Amino acid sequence: MQGKITRVEIYRLNIPLKAPVTIAIGTITEARNILVKIITEEDTYGLGEGAPFWMIVGETQDSCLATARDFARLLMGKYVWDIEGNLRMLDQYLTRNFTCKSTFDMALYDAAAKHAGMPLYQFLGGNKKTITTDETIYIGTPEAMAEDALAIKNRGADAIKVKLGKVPDEDIRRIKAIREAIGDGLPLRVDANQGWDYVSAVRVLKAIEKYDVQYCEQPVKHWDFENLARVRAHSPIPICADESLFTHIDALQLVRQQAVDYFNIKLSKSGGIHTALKINAIAEAAGIPCMIGCMSESRLGITANAHLASARPNIVFYDLDSPFEHAIDPVAGGATYRDHYHLDLPDTPGHGADFEEDFLKEMEKIVVE
């Protein structure tokens, strides 16, 4: 029987950013990710990337590296195609730690699809569809954000995502300045990253409705499902769950409380593709469209996200722009950005992305075999 795991390589994956990235709950100056390479006895391998955005997931690069050693030891001698069994074993060993689990999940799916000789979207039971990402504007002055928005419009974007969640009056001025700069017709998607309370959220959302805002992500704290539902009930703008939604258990609770209009699925937050499929199934049954989002993944992680989005028609919004902030692109193969915003998936087996060997040689490596 083929596909037995004999070796796992774990990399500290540091990718410099063009400039610091600021959202309501923190700032990052570098993409501090991890990479896992799961190798079988036939020398087939699968690659997975995790992006531990610590202020959201409660994991760091160092904690993921430590956890990954244990996960790698558990997987020795197991088969890559036993995705259900392998991930259940990791869950039984250690609760939560979703970003680290997502890294192994992605590598297992990549390796299993390669063993099947199928591109990942096909292995997941889907086909290709058009995927067009938005582009994000991070928190700054209204004037600077308006300038960024105009540049994005001129690059041909179909939608702009705007980070908010600071002082309500300043947030209103940010959206006003952006809309005045870009004119009408280009939808805005705002993301407060838990930065408001109930009163502030409703006030801001009522004030910015006239600026053609498509939806608002996570207006209140991640744990505050009750006020999330209250915001939705009083907001003229649809509400999307992000930090409130880690797993399918959260998805079910959000549906029961009628708290949101949309779900934002992120592999580094959900534990990977396996749980993301469950979240999407619950959303589809409840009539809730989904978006696929990202943390600070390279184009490798984005490629796996795009395969999932392509395979599921209920995923209709795409926020897969994290590589735009990276100073370098060390990924070989994988999905490519056409006309800046359109993602084209490869038809090679697995997700089709890898890292350049010279880049990985510079990264700290841990081997378990």
**pLDDT tens readout for residues 218-274:** 999 999 999 999 999 999 999 999 999 999 999 999 999 999 999 999 999 999 999
CATH, domain range 123-354:
3.20.20.120
**pLDDT tens readout for residues 289-313:** 999 999 999 999 999 999 999 999 9
Q: β-pairing, 45-50 with 188-191?
A: unpaired
Whole-angstrom CA distances from 248 to 22, 103, 151, 277, 280 are 28, 18, 37, 9, 8
| CB 273 within 8 Å of CB 301 | no
Give the number of other Cβ atoms within 10 Å of residue 125's Cβ.
Answer: 9
Q: Which residues contact 267 (CB under 8 A, 6 or more apart)?
A: 102, 105, 106, 273, 276, 301, 304, 305, 308
- Which of helix, strand or coil describes residue 269? helix
Taking the C-alpha atoms of residue 81 and residue 131, their distance in angstroms, rounded to an integer, is 27
Q: How many CA atoms lie within 13 A of 42 on its CB side?
A: 13
| CB 301 within 8 Å of CB 278 | no
24: pLDDT strictly greater than 80: no
Distance of CA 104 to the CA centre of its chain: 15
284: pLDDT strictly greater than 80: yes
Is 354 annotated as belonging to a binding site?
no
pLDDT of residue 55: 83
Taking the C-alpha atoms of residue 79 and residue 83, their distance in angstroms, rounded to an integer, is 8
pTM summary value: 0.96
Which of 57, 56, 106, 66 shows the shortest CA–CA distance to 86? 106
Token pair recorded at residue 2: 């083929």
- Which of helix, strand or coil describes residue 241? strand
Give the number of other Cβ atoms within 10 Å of residue 44's Cβ.
Answer: 18
Name the CATH topology of 5-117+357-368.
Enolase-like; domain 1 (3.30.390)
CA terminus-to-terminus distance, the chain: 19
Which of 186, 187, 221 shows the shortest CA–CA distance to 201? 221
**Domain residue spans in the chain?**
5-117+357-368, 123-354
202: pLDDT strictly greater than 90: yes
Q: What residues are annotated to the active site?
A: 163, 266
| CB 194 within 8 Å of CB 158 | no
- Which of helix, strand or coil describes residue 257? coil
Is 217 annotated as belonging to a binding site?
yes
Confidence of residue 23 (pLDDT cuts 50, 70, 90): confident
| CB 17 within 8 Å of CB 53 | no
Is 242 annotated as belonging to a binding site?
yes
Taking the C-alpha atoms of residue 368 and residue 298, their distance in angstroms, rounded to an integer, is 24
